[in-house]
């Protein structure tokens, strides 16, 4: 388990470092002086200066940073160049997602398939959602769990097709059944009694199912599929965030769960145990979501910096540095407080990932 957590943690660090690399390469392209490009956060362990930039390795391995001095040529560059320098940090996430999804399609992408499809490797039936207050929720089943088999008093079924599992559950309404379930690399038994008269649209156990298998694409098509998947996932993620904001104003559940580094590492650890393609797909989805969040017009995020640059373009003069720094500091403190609460929640839930 330690190696799984370590690999998930390293993957997260690499992802954050690529974001900073996007800023760094664009700044260099436009001739902006970069004082330091650091892996990890200070204090510095060692570093080597190449040209005008110090490349450093630092003690706390939680990402990377780019240091551009305040008196550098950044502020004298045309507005569009400064916007690109800031924007390309987030854009690097989309590039990474496209590369990852392309590799996934070449290796074999987890894809929903019909029960009738044969000769598809690594087929399994996944729980895609669990209804609140249903028999499934009462016994702790979660979206992403894999149903291996079901056992009743008189029969046993190996779960490989959705309809077979649904029919088995219907045939045993009102009777106790045992589900053999796989979560990550852990297999456990869960006992439930399917409802005779469930609420409309929920089913007797209160679960939605999907049959999934690994489908490969030819190499020459995988890049196209990777671009298409990145675009579609970005659109779906933006729609989800917009709907969450609308629900927030309506005082309804948003369906969005905040996670910090610990929570993300837990989810990635699950992906590692499910297989390479599943893990890479999770990294791709994470890249897209982080890119979108990073571009929100919130001071302390890249989107906040872009907002100040856009205001400068409209006003035809920059926002006074003192005002920008004060606003950014306030939001940075609020962000740290929020992350502290999220981290406490993640620590409490961490065992639930394993």
Residues 185-230: tens digit of each pLDDT: 789 999 999 999 888 778 899 888 988 888 888 888 899 989 998 9
Report whether 64 contacts 40 (CB < 8 A): yes
In this structure, are residues 79 and 87 in contact, taking their beta carbons and an 8 Å threshold? no
Helix count and strand count (H, E) for the chain: 9, 9
Smallest CA-to-CA distance from 207 within 141, 279, 264 is with 141
Residues 6+ apart with CB under 8 A from 167: none
Which residues, 6+ apart, have CB-to-CB distance to 128 below 8 Å?
Answer: 143, 208, 209, 210
Higher local confidence (pLDDT), 43 or 244: 43
CA distance readout (Å), 319 to 72, 81, 85, 315, 322: 17, 17, 18, 9, 9
Q: What is the mean pLDDT of residues 279-295?
A: 87
Torsion of CA 285, 289, 290, 291, to 10 degrees: 100
d(CA 265, CA 162): 30
Where do the domains of the chain lie?
Answer: 80-108+252-353, 112-215
pLDDT of residue 164: 92
What per-residue confidence (pLDDT) applies to 54? 93
Q: Within its chain, how far is the Cα of 150 from the centroid?
A: 31
CB proximity list for 93: less than 8 A, separation 6 or greater: 15, 18, 19, 22, 287, 288, 290, 291, 294
For domain 112-215, the CATH architecture is Roll (2.30)
**pLDDT at residue 4 tops 70:** no
What is the per-residue pLDDT across 104-127, written as a single tens digit (0 to 9) for each?
Answer: 888 887 778 888 888 888 888 988
Report DSSP letters for 99-167, one per residue: HHHHHHHHH-EEEE--TT--S-TT-EEEEEEE-TTSHHHHTT--TT-EEEEEE-SS-EEE---HHHHHH
> Which of 335, 238, 246, 338 shows the shortest CA–CA distance to 288?
238
Cα-based distances in Å from 249 to 243, 245, 246, 252, 254: 10, 6, 5, 8, 10
Q: Per-residue confidence at 80, pLDDT binned at 50, 70, 90?
A: very high
| Higher-confidence position of 27 and 251 | 27
């Amino acid at each position: 388990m330690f190696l799984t957590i370590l690999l998930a943690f390293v993957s997260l660090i690499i992802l954050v470092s690529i974001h900073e690399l996007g800023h760094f390469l664009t700044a260099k392209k436009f001739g902006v002086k970069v004082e330091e490009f650091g892996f990890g956060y200070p204090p510095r362990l060692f570093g080597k200066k190449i040209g005008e930039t110090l490349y450093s390795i630092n003690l706390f391995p939680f990402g990377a940073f780019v240091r551009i001095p305040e008196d550098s040529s950044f502020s004298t560059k045309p507005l569009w160049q400064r916007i690109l320098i800031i924007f390309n940090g987030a854009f690097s996430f989309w590039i990474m997602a496209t590369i990852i999804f392309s590799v996934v399609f070449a290796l074999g992408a987890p894809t929903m398939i019909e029960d009738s499809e044969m000769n598809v490797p690594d087929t399994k039936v996944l729980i895609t959602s669990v209804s609140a207050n249903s028999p499934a929720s009462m016994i702790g089943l979660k979206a992403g769990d894999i149903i291996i088999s079901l056992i009743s008093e008189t029969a046993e079924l190996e779960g490989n097709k959705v309809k077979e599992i649904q029919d088995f559950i219907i045939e045993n309404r009102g009777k106790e059944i045992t589900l053999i379930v796989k979560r990550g690399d852990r297999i456990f038994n869960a006992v439930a009694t399917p409802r005779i008269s469930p609420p409309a649209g929920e089913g007797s156990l209160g679960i939605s199912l999907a049959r999934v298998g690994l489908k490969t694409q030819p190499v020459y098509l995988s890049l196209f599929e990777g671009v298409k998947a990145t675009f579609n996932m970005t659109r779906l993620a933006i729609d989800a965030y917009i709907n969450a904001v609308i629900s927030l104003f309506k005082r309804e559940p948003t369906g969005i769960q905040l996670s910090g580094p610990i929570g993300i590492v837990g989810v990635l650890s699950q992906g590692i145990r499910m297989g390479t393609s599943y893990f890479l797909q999770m990294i791709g989805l994470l890249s897209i979501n982080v890119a979108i969040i990073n571009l929100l017009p919130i001071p302390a995020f890249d989107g906040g910096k872009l907002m100040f640059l856009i205001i400068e373009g409209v006003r035809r003069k920059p926002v006074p540095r003192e005002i920008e720094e004060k606003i950014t500091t306030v939001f940075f403190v609020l962000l740290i407080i929020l992350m502290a609460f999220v981290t406490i929640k993640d620590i409490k839930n961490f065992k639930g990932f394993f």
